[in-house]
Structure 1
Amino acid sequence: MPDPTLVEQLRADLMQARKDRDKLRTTTLTTFLAEIKNKEIDQGGPVSDEDVRGLLVTAIKRRREAAEQMRAGNRAELAEKEEQEGGMLQAYLPPALGEDEVRGFIAEAIAGGAKDVGGVMKAVMPRAKGRFDGKELNRLVREALAG
């Protein structure tokens, strides 16, 4: 039997969370599956695992930003909840890349003829998307081009 798609895995995990009466996990997965459903409606068909990974990256980033705002507003308990949700969703992404690996991708892109930030980003992003922070990537690219 082939590996389940990300959507199938999310649905299976949702069913398990409901059986376990894990309220936070159930709410997080239900909300995220609704986002996937909206994406399917928008594009008029089923989503690919790549689409789901893109949605995961966005959802995690949104939760990270919300947690920062909660902390700034002295609402530590709400910030913690956002961080827990982000952590749950992070588990569905491939393992994060290390800075050294990303520097290697950047060097390859520059050796391959990319001369400016946009060109290098375009070459590296498909390999790093969802596995390395975009702002950090941009910083590393600028460092590599300057040095």
Structure 2
Amino acid sequence: MLARLQGDQAAARREQQKDRVMLLGMIVSEVKNREIELRRELTDDDVIDVIRKGIKKRRESVEMYAKAGRSDLQDKEQQEVVLLEVYLPAQVDPAELRAAVQSAIAGGAANIGAVMARVMPAFKGRVDGSVINAIAREELARA
């Protein structure tokens, strides 16, 4: 995954796409920092976690810029989110998530923390935790 990011950065550099070069450069840098922090070579899942955190940061920025009325910066951050989402694995079907949450509740998970603890490991790296959290809250309210 890291090699793919670096290859895409080199291709963007050749095509003189400054924004894309900068974005991929930041992500590669964050990946290398994470590698230093963990003191081991990163797996693809680790790299995907770094990308997810980058997307999350940018989505928070989009919200802040929207509140501040800065549509120019909001659009830039939104474009970066779209560019980074290309590197994420395919999303999980919501029906599959809902079924997993329902089975966790049926298995005795009575609160949000217990449901998240049972469901998150199965979908780690493939689904944002906030999506699982929202489904879990809906299902717990029904139970």
Q: TM-score, normalised by structure 2?
A: 0.89
Counting matched residue pairs gives: 142
Q: Secondary structure at the match of 1:39?
A: helix
Question: What is the identity percentage for the equivalent residue pairs of Structure 1 and Structure 2?
Answer: 39
Residue among 21, 44, 47 paired with 1:52: 47
Q: Distance in 2 between matches of 1:87 and 1:93?
A: 11
2:94 counterpart of 1:94: no
* Deviation, structure 1 residue 16: 0.8
Pairwise CA RMSD of aligned residues? Answer: 1.7
Deviations 1:5-52 (A, max 9, x none): x11111111111111111111111000000011101111121111111
Which structure 1 residue ranges, 4+ long, deviate > 4 Å from structure 2?
none
Tell me the TM-score normalized by structure 1. 0.87
Distance 1:98 1:75 in 2: 34
**Residue 83 of structure 1 aligns with which residue?**
78
Give distance in 1, aligned partners of 2:124 and 2:50: 11
* Contact persistence 2:65–2:71 (CA under 8 A): yes
2:132 corresponding residue in structure 1: 137
In structure 2, the partner of 1:14 is 9
State the distance in 1 between where 2:82 and 2:125 align: 13
Which residue among 69, 75, 86 is the counterpart of 2:64? 69
Structure 2 residues without counterparts, runs of 5 or longer = none
| Structure 1: segments with no counterpart, 5+ residues | 1-5
